[in-house]
Amino acid sequence: MELNLCNIRDVKDLMSIFHLSFRKDLGQNFLIDSLIVSDIADLCSPDPDCTVLEIGPGVGTLTRELAARYRKVVAVEIDQSLIPVLNYTLNDFSNVTVIGEDVMKLDLAEVLGEELKHGPVSVCANLPYYITTPILTKLLRSGFPFGQITVMIQNEVAQRLCAPVGSKNSGAITVFMAYYGVCTQAFTVPPDRFVPSPNVTSSVMQIRLHKERPVHPRNEELFFKTVRIVFEQRRKNILNALTLGFPDMSKETATKIIGSFGWPAELRGERLSLKEFSDLSDCISSYGLC
Ligand code: SAM
């Protein structure tokens, strides 16, 4: 009998044959809607010669669709007990490499660097929700020239990531995202399209990395810190947010910095644009603060 990884019965049978149960602690919610799986795979890249990094292949549902469309798939799965399952479900594909490792420990340049000789390298994943932000941060900060990043994440997080900087829905992660690329939401996926069902609606979103950064803060770490501080104190005006977040900054210095931009003291920092955040961190740095 042919196995259908989008059939809930087949997936449960497969797990029980391998004596496995779904691990909540690893965010194991497997997709069981063939149309959605196929739509995600289609979105991954316009180039069939691309290499796809898949994070968390699970039992290989999305992996099979990716392998059928693209030159190569490198699938990284932390759960060692799923490796024999993947060897079985991906048996008919010779263009898939499965790596049994935590993606957070993966050296992206070492694993994927060679692949760039053959075409673009893109990321496609139904991400484990418990670790979405660290994974995206790692991908973006790595400097690896990914073609596109297509990921399914919690809808609420996707809305924040894709919100315009300075809007009500924006957060530190929105500014971080806008610094690295352009983020768009493709479609939402209800909980009943997974086994087991998560408690939340999910969203597929795409990130296209900037070829050239829109701003060039003098000190990148300070830029990120400034953004974080402003959003940690988002209910406070910028003067209070800065003096609370930078203990070495006196009220006089904070007033001078804010005044040099002509901003009103009651301004809330969450309203700042990407360029204003960058200029603000440069100004803070010119006072020798970090
Ligand atoms: N791709 C499959 C699908 O769409 O049905 C499974 C997606 S499931 C939401 C997330 C997968 O990521 C699980 O297989 C889980 O074991 C794996 N995972 C969790 N943490 C990981 C990590 N740090 N590194 C690599 N894989 C991880």
Domains 8-209 and 220-286 fall in the same CATH topology: no
Quote the CA–CA distance of 75 and 15 in Å, as a whole number: 19
Does ligand 1 lie within 6 Å of residue 206's CB atom? no
134 CA to centre of ligand 1 in angstroms = 14
169 CA to centre of ligand 1 in angstroms = 28
Q: State the closest ligand 1 atom to the C-alpha of 26, by its place in the atom list counted from 1.
A: 19
75 CA to centre of ligand 1 in angstroms = 10
CATH code at 220-286: 1.10.8.100
Does ligand 1 lie within 6 Å of residue 31's CB atom? yes
Does ligand 1 lie within 6 Å of residue 203's CB atom? no
183 CA to centre of ligand 1 in angstroms = 22
Task: Assign 265 a pLDDT band (cuts: 50, 70, 90).
Answer: confident
pLDDT digits (tens, 9 = 90+) for 57-108: 999 999 999 999 999 999 999 999 999 999 999 999 999 999 999 999 999 9
CATH code at 8-209: 3.40.50.150
Give the mean model confidence (pLDDT) for residues 259-263: 93
Percent of the chain with pLDDT over 70: 100
Of the spans 44-58, 225-239, 260-274, which averages the highest pLDDT? 44-58
Give the mean model confidence (pLDDT) for residues 174-198: 97
For residue 104, what are the contacts with CB-CB under 8 A and spacing of at least 6? 131, 134, 135, 138
Does ligand 1 lie within 6 Å of residue 60's CB atom? no
Does ligand 1 lie within 6 Å of residue 26's CB atom? yes
Q: What is the pLDDT of residue 88?
A: 97
Q: What six digits make up the tokens of 40?
A: 């995600």
Task: Assign 1 a pLDDT band (cuts: 50, 70, 90).
Answer: low
Which letter, b or e, does each residue of 170-207 get, where b requires 16 or more Cβ atoms within 10 Å of its Cβ? bbbbbbbbbbbbebeeeeebeeebbbeebeeebbbbbb
Which letter, b or e, does each residue of 88-101 get, where b requires 16 or more Cβ atoms within 10 Å of its Cβ? ebbeeeeebebbee
pLDDT digits (tens, 9 = 90+) for 104-158: 999 999 999 999 999 999 999 999 999 999 999 999 999 999 999 999 999 999 9
Q: Where are the domains of the chain?
A: 8-209, 220-286
64 CA to centre of ligand 1 in angstroms = 15
**Taking the model in full, what pTM does it have?**
0.94
Report the residue among 25, 28, 99, 153 best suited for mutation to probe ligand 1: largest number of ligand atoms under 8 A from its CB. Answer: 28
On the question of pLDDT at 183 being above 80, the answer is yes
pLDDT digits (tens, 9 = 90+) for 214-255: 999 999 999 999 999 999 988 889 999 999 999 999 999 999
Q: What is the pLDDT of residue 2?
A: 79
Percent of the chain with pLDDT over 90: 93
Report the residue among 34, 38, 126 best suited for mutation to probe ligand 1: largest number of ligand atoms under 8 A from its CB. Answer: 126
Instruction: Identify whether the C-beta of residue 255 lies closer than 8 Å to the C-beta of residue 239.
Output: yes
